Amino acid sequence: MAQLADVVHLVEHVLGPNVLGAYQYGSAVLRGGLRPYSDLDVLVVTGRSLGAEERRALVDGLLGGVSAPPEGQRELRPVELTVVVESDVRPWQYPPRCDFQYGEWCREHYERGEVPQPGSDEDVAVLLAMALAADTALAGPPPRCLLDPVPWRDVRRASLAAVEPLRAEAAEDTRNAVLTLARVHATLSTDRFRSKAEGASWTLGRLPQQYRPILAQALAVYEGEAEEPAAWPAAELDAYVAHMAAEITRLAEGD
């Protein structure tokens, strides 16, 4: 895929020999594959933290035609680019530290001049575990050569930590929140990473009937089979989110 090659080229051009490895993860390398609204997910492992000019150059490159918002150019996908420093995640410790993360949900902030800064990020535990499971190198050695295994208990902890942010975002980013909750539920139920589409389909068949319509609608939009509604039903959304949050909490806190 040309866009994926452009992401790797940008990273290598900006960071040079600081790049130890680059890895694809997410829906593209899971059963079910990419859908019309899927992101391209790339993890980069570096030998040191990024400098201010490097952060700005990566953001400018992504904004300048390497990435696009979900509702943007159809020939370009949104890119989620995450950078970790090897010594920050190896030996493994929880929560992990993220050195840089670009996501299209922050495009307006980037366009105002902000750039991603380093800090602890529980969700990176899931990303690292997914990259290790996918074992898909775009540059450098296999991910296991640079990353320690992530204990499944930390995947569960990170999944639980993601619930409240998803609840807070559900009204504004409904489709993504609905599908992500379903994927997390499926992953924790089966101890296996699933694409967003596969995870939603798995959960859909196991939900109580009253919670199925909003997930089915979100999945149809994600698959390109339906248009995004002008407004999602608030009562159904609230009930679905509350149910999924309770189920994920039960699974994450279980033995």
Three-state SS across 97-136? EECEEECHHHHHHHHCCCCCCCEECCHHHHHHHHHHHHCC
Cβ neighbours for 159, distance < 8 A, ≥ 6 positions apart:
126, 184, 187, 188, 248, 252
Cβ neighbours for 80, distance < 8 A, ≥ 6 positions apart:
26, 39, 40, 41, 42, 101, 102, 103, 104
Q: Per the residue annotation, which of 12, 53, 54, 80 is the catalytic one?
A: 80
Residue 193: closest CA among 243, 92, 125: 125
Residue 225: closest CA among 212, 237, 216: 216
3-state secondary structure of 96: coil
3-state secondary structure of 23: strand
Q: How far is Cα of residue 107 from the mean position of the Cα atoms in its chain?
A: 16
Residue 80 designated active-site? yes
Q: Please tell me the distance from the alpha carbon of residue 51 to that of residue 46, in angstroms, as a whole number.
A: 12
Residues labelled catalytic? 80
